[in-house]
Amino acid sequence: MTETARSETPAPQVSPNNPCPFLRALVAGNYVGGHIVPLPELTETIGRATGKTGWSGFVARAKIFVVAQGANGFGPVSQLRSLFRGAILDELRNGPLDKHGAGSRILDQHAAVHESEIERLASYGSDHARPDGGVERGLSASQIKTFMAENFQRDASEHSSSWTILHYYYRVLMLGEWPVLLDIMGKGEGKDRYLSVDEVRTLFVERRFPDRIIALLNS
């Protein structure tokens, strides 16, 4: 879809059954549809947002494709449906990528945003120097790692009586959330790269990307 066609077409309503903040922003911005999105289209759209080209861009897109193909289920029927029809974004809730409260809990099961959980996220961060001057609250890679570990322990303590290997699966899923957001939306380079809390809030609450990501999506 061209930029003109995208801007003239009403954006689809974001379903509460789409629990991924990044995908919710893509739908709200009318970069992809809100129901079934062909895997090549979804892969290329997210791939543009990464800003990666060449070999690193190819690897990033390959990973995106694999994750998208399994988003609605790992069974043979789900896999074939995803491969030939696409990912069903408004049926991701309770799917294989849903962490069921083992994550940040910023977005609940009804797609309501909890400001207290955003503040909790901020408490794990520190002030970082903005590339364009000034400072802002953000989380580095090591701070994000601590945040995810605490999320895991929170879920473990609340479900100690029913603790199963499934919860360790949720821990693996966490690696595809905040570290990926840091990779795509982070500011700075190397060990100085950080994820802005204000931009996280905008992503969850307003379902909107920073201008630099929008520029990549529109490229």
Between strands 126-129 and 135-140, the pairing is antiparallel
Rounded to an integer, what distance in angstroms lies between the CA atom of residue 32 and that of residue 102?
27
Rounded to two decimals, the pTM is 0.88
Query: How does DSSP assign 124-182, residue by residue?
Result: T-EEEE-TTSSEEEEEEHHHHHHHHHHHHHHHHHHTGGG--HHHHHHHHHHTTTHHHHH
Look at residue 52 and tell me if it is in a domain.
Answer: yes
Confidence (pLDDT) at 96: 81
71 and 135 assigned to the same domain: no
Residue 167 has a pLDDT of 64
In this prediction, residue 174 carries a pLDDT of 73
Whether residue 129 is found in the same domain as residue 154: yes
For residue 2, what pLDDT is reported?
Answer: 56
Last residue of a domain, one of 70, 98, 126: 98
| Residue 108 in domain | no
Same domain, 119 and 201: yes
**Whether residue 127 sits in one domain with residue 202:** yes
Burial readout 116-128 (b: 16 or more C-beta within 10 A, e: otherwise): ebbebbbebbeeb
Other C-beta atoms closer than 10 Å to the C-beta of 197 total: 20
Domain boundary among 65, 98, 131: 98
Same domain, 66 and 136: no
Domain residues for 185?
A: 114-207
Same domain, 18 and 81: yes
Domain end (from 64, 98, 132): 98
Output the pLDDT for position 178. Answer: 92
The pLDDT tens digits along the chain (219 residues) read 555 555 556 777 899 999 999 999 999 999 999 999 999 999 999 999 999 999 999 999 999 999 999 889 889 999 999 999 999 999 998 888 877 666 789 998 888 999 999 999 999 999 999 999 999 999 999 999 999 989 888 877 776 655 566 666 766 777 778 999 999 999 999 999 999 999 999 999 999 999 999 999 999
Query: How many domains, the chain?
Result: 2
Query: For position 119, what pLDDT does the model report?
Result: 97
pLDDT at site 49? 97
